[in-house]
Amino acid sequence: MQLNKVLKRWLIAGGILVGLLVVALVGASFYFYNMTVARGKKSFIGAPKALTTNDPLYPQKHWYQAAKKYRWTETAAGAKFKLVANYLPAARATKKTVVLVHGFASSKEQMGGYAGMFHQLGYNVLVPDDRAQGASGGQAMSYGYFESRDYLKWINQVIARQGKQSQIVLFGVSMGGATTMIASGLKTPTQLKAYIEDCGYTTADAEIRYQARQMYNLPYWPLVPMTSAVTRVRAGFSFKDADALSAVKRNHKPMLFIHGGADTFVPTKMVYQVYHADAGPKQLLVVPGAQHAAALSHNPQLYQSTVKRFLAQYFH
């Protein structure tokens, strides 16, 4: 009889402990959802630095800040909220346009170096704010899953405005690089001629697994799958849905892959995985010594000359 009472107490205590653990994990999952998916400032992302003349991309960024910008708008794919973009025409009239895709917890205002580079190369430049970032609407980022559909709408708007003779390149950095790769696996218009991705990840699941270990020293299980489950319910996608690695296997258009050789945020090994998986014409540039999303500023000449030669093969 006494043994039964002790056992009962242990079972009650065990049940309470399990319940508390479940509550803690659910709470942690919602916290990481806010850190990884929900709109808002991210504590681990520093504020943008003020532009100075010491910046190796000062001419490009200064041009972007000062240049006249035209405001374009678009409705998000599968949603009713509005997306906004800056459009900057080339110095000489052209049908060649680059659509720029910024990264996680960023905005169109941080894309001046890339915008200036493509302006120097003679392209019209369209720079949107992703959903749930910058001036665009929405409450959740999707690591390229829904954004890739948004950018197809932007591309179709370029074609509608500039005509069927448009020639378009989609260019993205970091999460924008993954978005670019995911878009390559979708059905795209013929006017979209090529892709350039810079430091994109293989899948959101792999990147978040890596960051959980790097930033918080946490194992993959159970927190990442639980946060992904919360994301499925609240935002309509799971981390495994944002899959650039699978997408490039369906791509048959030219793609230039760029990565920093010293990238520890999206590890450099990921670029080799997506590069080898890509089914279309492709080229790889790994910039020695460059950290995450810093390949252009680390070696502007190499970066720009590589981009110029790559696009010259497909744009005329």
pLDDT tens column, 172-197: 999 999 999 999 999 999 999 999 99
pLDDT band at 49 (very low <50, low <70, confident <90, very high): confident
Cα separation, 56 vs 62, in Å, equals: 11
pLDDT band at 43 (very low <50, low <70, confident <90, very high): confident
pLDDT of residue 36 exceeding 70, the answer is: yes
Task: Give the other-Cβ count within 10 Å of 188's Cβ.
Answer: 20
Distances in Å between the Cα of 32 and the Cα atoms of 83, 228, 266 are 25, 10, 18
Distances in Å between the Cα of 141 and the Cα atoms of 138, 239, 305 are 8, 11, 33
Is the domain spanning 37-203+242-312 CATH 3.50.50.60? The answer is no
Residue range 46-53: mean pLDDT, rounded? 89
Cα separation, 279 vs 293, in Å, equals: 25
Which two three-digit tokens encode residue 162?
């500039």
pLDDT of residue 156 exceeding 60, the answer is: yes
What pLDDT does 18 receive?
43
What pLDDT does 9 receive?
63
Which two three-digit tokens encode residue 154?
């932007």
pLDDT tens column, 217-241: 988 999 999 999 999 999 999 999 9
Look at 158 and 18; give whichever has higher pLDDT.
Answer: 158
What pLDDT does 143 receive?
98
